[in-house]
Structure 1
Amino acid sequence: MRTATKTLLALTAAAAFGGFAATVMRDGLETPAEAAPAAATPMAALPTAVGGQPLPSLAPMLAKVTPAVVSVHTKQRVRVSPFGNDPMFRRMFPELSQERINESLGSGVIVDAQQGLVLTNHHVIEGADEVSVTLSDGRTLKADFVGSDPDTDIAVMKIPPQNLRALPLADSSALRVGDFVVAVGNPFGIGQTVTSGIVSAVGRSGLRGLGFQHFIQTDASINPGNSGGALVNLNGELVGVNTASFNPRGSMAGNIGLGFAIPTSLARNIMGQLIANNGVVIRGTLGLESQDVNARLAQGLGLDEARGALVTQVFAGGAAASAGLKPGDVIVAANGERIDGRDGLRNFEGLQAVGSRIALDVRRDGKPLQLSATLREQPKSLAGLELDPRLAGAVFAELPEQLRQSGYAGVLVESVARGSRAAQNGLQKSDVVVAASTGSFADLPGFRASFTQAPAQLVLRIMRGNRRGDLPMQ
């Protein structure tokens, strides 16, 4: 109790001092240069003790933490044409294109000093041709890419293991709302910064455009450039990887106390998969499609409340089929975690590894039912020729979770071979197939299942940029 009181006093004093300093800076800026005072006014000093006890400080803990928090510097080479993205003019006048190097800054955390492993965010290193890491002692080291997972925004790099300091990974599942946390990073490339706050929520999800989600929410400021930095507890252990801040007016508008970090329990799992699977994550799936339960459906299904994921299709040979799930079942919880709808179930699935045993809390005909399923590997891509000859040459993949969180459903056209039948039919790389004449689907397994019987006429409804259209496949 005494330690907690000391820490609270320190944080309160630090907050008060921060506000005082900001006021002094603002007043100084607003004072005309010629109005300098004749004599300096002495500034109040912090007390050396409170209640007879020395003023506690975070400095000893941070002295151990900051050497493990690094600055991540990326370079990306891009070709810039005066004709923008117009492919015809770019081909006609290639000599007018110029190479430009885009540079960006972020943060990272050393988590294994012996192997030189560094955790950061996927969006920090996405598309980079070169990555270097600057340590707190000023050394700059070249970083090698181990792997990344855009759907959880975790990336792993490796640097030479030369006199490094690593942070121990804490059990983030033990975090409680109200626990004190400290965010350390390198915003704007000005050097390391430290902000403090409390845990505002755990297991936070439902944020648009941020992939699979199980965030720690904190009111510690997470500024631009802090991404990939460390969220630590008062023991100096890593509890999360800073990933995002929220402000309706944009990240540059300032902090409003809504910061999010990826918990170490998830980061550890993703890092292990990236190392073991040559830089990729293999996810498990139940093998079903579902929809939200509205009030009308809840009444018809005999449910007390309008929530849960209503199973609309069970794919043969999948985990759900083996577990005994049927269309019409409503999944209301998985491993004790509340499931409110289709997106909640998909988010839960996306955070589980292949082979995970899942306890499902189901409602069938309004009555409770407990089922157990073992997740099977989720295919990452599918060749069009496996579905229909008219799609030969195209490769389809799951939509990035960021697109799903933004309201899209369907599959992504990952690639189209030049001169192939799919290309002749007008299909292009990065098209999003949102519907087809084969039947309804929401993801890659559903898309595959819709081709059980070859349709006489195959029409794909696609999104290309901001345009939507129907594409007949001949």
Structure 2
Amino acid sequence: MRITQLSSFAPSFLTGLLVALMMLAVFPQLRTSHQTAPEPNHSRLPDDGLSSSISYSEAVSKAGPSVVNIYARGVKILEKKQRWDPQFGTLTVVKKKPYEALGSGVIMREDGVILTNYHLLAGAGDVAVMLNDGREAPVSLIGIDVEADLAVLKLEMQKVKPIEIAVSKKAMIGDVVLAIGNPHGVGQTVTHGIISAKEVTDVNSKNPLQSYLQTDAAINQGNSGGALIDHRGRLLGINTFIDRNLGSVSFAIPSDRAIQTMEEILAGRGWLGFNAISVAPQMAKKHNLPVGLLIRKISPNGPADVSKLVPGDIITAIDQAPIVDPQTSMTHIAKSEPGTVIELTVWRQGRFSRITTEVGARPN
């Protein structure tokens, strides 16, 4: 009985097998219809730049040789007191302290001109520089701008590489920046961040009109005077200080302004000898004052002092040009050659007057 059933099933089985083989011959794609789909070949995917890691090594390699380490030694005056001595009369007692400072600088020209921060050199007697490649050389001080916190040095060495300059006013908030310097004397290092704000003022008590680039790239002790560069290795600013009260916010002098100051120091700058803050339209309206430059301090025996300007005066115009942008007006004075006579329109206790003064040479 079982043999009869098997023999009747065999012709049907053979017929089905023959039909299946014919279908595979006619439609070969059926052979893979139930196979597992192949793994995608990621190596052939187009490179959209997102999957690859981002590196700024080229920018650092380009700018690094133009950033130097600065070592300064000197004596700082901590305190001055006067006391009466029966034998010698009035004596001035000066309390001093020896100090050493570490910082950074940026090579700006092939002839060895270096820009750095003035506060690194205040009171320094000896200053030395070490290049990126380990070479050491003495430097000479060309000039300073205390209010801008900038100093110009001259490196006594040949074959130095100046940094490439970017136009800092074209930088945008959110642009990537790198800070190169010598933090804590450990050698040249790089920190990374973005531009957080532009044209930040009122953060430097010695010069409230000075504007800065604000960044979250760390600028620690020793980074001062170093380079803030863009992603192409071009100078955007001179790293100056960090305000830890604001959460480690760092500030750099924009390259446009730093270069202008450097050129003025090299050429000889005009100077009136006063420290001022801006009276902006909003402040002027609130306090019923004119827009202009409010004098806070007068340098003894300077041009402003000789011309009888006093703290509290507000300069509203220079050579009859109204003061709209305080920084531009200060630049106009700085670019004036010593000996140039200019006319100031001055507001004092509710009255306007015109005062003629002669531009002096900024003391170094």
TM range (shorter): 0.5 to 0.7
1:323 is matched with which residue: 316, 320, 324? Answer: 320
2:262 matched to which residue of 1? 271
Listed one character per residue, the Cα deviations across residues 412-461 of structure 1 (whole Å, up to 9, x for unaligned) are xxxxxxxxxxxxxxxxxxxxxxxxxxx869xxx9899xxxxxxxxxxxxx
- 1:74-153 residue pairs with structure 2 within 5 A? 74-77=72-75, 85=81, 101-113=98-110, 115-153=111-149
The alpha-carbon distance between structure 1 residues 269 and 378, as it changes in their structure 2 partners (threshold 3 A), is farther
TM-score w.r.t. length of structure 1? 0.50
Seq. identity, %: 30
1:241 matched to which residue of 2? 238
Structure 1 gaps of 5+ residues are 1-48, 250-255, 299-306, 326-330, 335-344, 357-374, 380-438, 449-474
1:222 matched to which residue of 2? 219
TM-score w.r.t. length of structure 2? 0.63
Q: CA deviation at 1:57?
A: 1.2
Contact between 1:284 and 1:355, CA under 8 Å: does it hold in 2?
no
Contact between 1:232 and 1:240, CA under 8 Å: does it hold in 2?
yes
Please give the alpha-carbon distance, in whole angstroms, between the structure 2 residues aligned to 1:137 and 1:289.
Answer: 43
The alpha-carbon distance between structure 1 residues 264 and 377, as it changes in their structure 2 partners (threshold 3 A), is farther
What letter corresponds to residue 349 of structure 1 in structure 2?
Answer: S
- 1:3-18 residue pairs with structure 2 within 5 A? none
Please give the alpha-carbon distance, in whole angstroms, between the structure 1 residues aligned to 2:144 and 2:293.
Answer: 32
Please give the alpha-carbon distance, in whole angstroms, between the structure 2 residues aligned to 1:140 and 1:378.
Answer: 48
What letter corresponds to residue 62 of structure 1 in structure 2?
Answer: V
- 1:350 and 2:330 matched: yes
1:61 matched to which residue of 2? 59
Listed one character per residue, the Cα deviations across residues 344-399 of structure 1 (whole Å, up to 9, x for unaligned) are x3x5532444568xxxxxxxxxxxxxxxxxx96699xxxxxxxxxxxxxxxxxxxx
Contact between 2:118 and 2:151, CA under 8 Å: does it hold in 1?
yes
Task: Give 1 or 2: higher strand fraction.
Answer: 2
Contact between 2:241 and 2:251, CA under 8 Å: does it hold in 1?
yes
What letter corresponds to residue 262 of structure 1 in structure 2?
Answer: I
The alignment partner of 2:288 has SS state of helix
Contact between 1:184 and 1:230, CA under 8 Å: does it hold in 2?
yes
The alpha-carbon distance between structure 1 residues 235 and 376, as it changes in their structure 2 partners (threshold 3 A), is farther
Please give the alpha-carbon distance, in whole angstroms, between the structure 2 residues aligned to 1:215 and 1:321.
Answer: 25
Contact between 2:103 and 2:225, CA under 8 Å: does it hold in 1?
yes
Please give the alpha-carbon distance, in whole angstroms, between the structure 2 residues aligned to 1:219 and 1:122.
Answer: 23
Listed one character per residue, the Cα deviations across residues 171-225 of structure 1 (whole Å, up to 9, x for unaligned) are 1111111111100111111111211111111111122514141111111111122
- 1:397-408 residue pairs with structure 2 within 5 A? none
1:21 matched to which residue of 2? none
1:178 matched to which residue of 2? 174
Structure whose CA Rg is larger: 2
Please give the alpha-carbon distance, in whole angstroms, between the structure 1 residues aligned to 2:135 and 2:181.
Answer: 16
- 1:198 and 2:194 matched: yes
2:32 matched to which residue of 1? none
2:155 is matched with which residue: 153, 159, 164? Answer: 159
Tell me the matched-pair count.
275
Contact between 2:342 and 2:356, CA under 8 Å: does it hold in 1?
no
Please give the alpha-carbon distance, in whole angstroms, between the structure 1 residues aligned to 2:232 and 2:109.
Answer: 18
The alpha-carbon distance between structure 1 residues 294 and 100, as it changes in their structure 2 partners (threshold 3 A), is closer
2:210 matched to which residue of 1? 213
Name segments (4+ residues, structure 1) moved above 3 Å. 49-54, 77-80, 83-89, 96-101, 288-292, 294-298, 307-312, 318-322, 351-356, 375-379, 445-448
What letter corresponds to residue 154 of structure 2 in structure 1?
Answer: K
Query: In angstroms, what is the RMSD of aligned CA positions?
Result: 4.3
- 1:301-450 residue pairs with structure 2 within 5 A? 308-309=291-292, 320=317, 322-323=319-320, 333-334=324-325, 345=326, 347-354=327-334
The alignment partner of 1:272 has SS state of helix
The alpha-carbon distance between structure 1 residues 199 and 376, as it changes in their structure 2 partners (threshold 3 A), is farther
Q: Relative contact order, CA 8 A, sep 6+: which one is greater?
A: 2
What letter corresponds to residue 181 of structure 2 in structure 1?
Answer: G
Please give the alpha-carbon distance, in whole angstroms, between the structure 2 residues aligned to 1:117 and 1:321.
Answer: 33
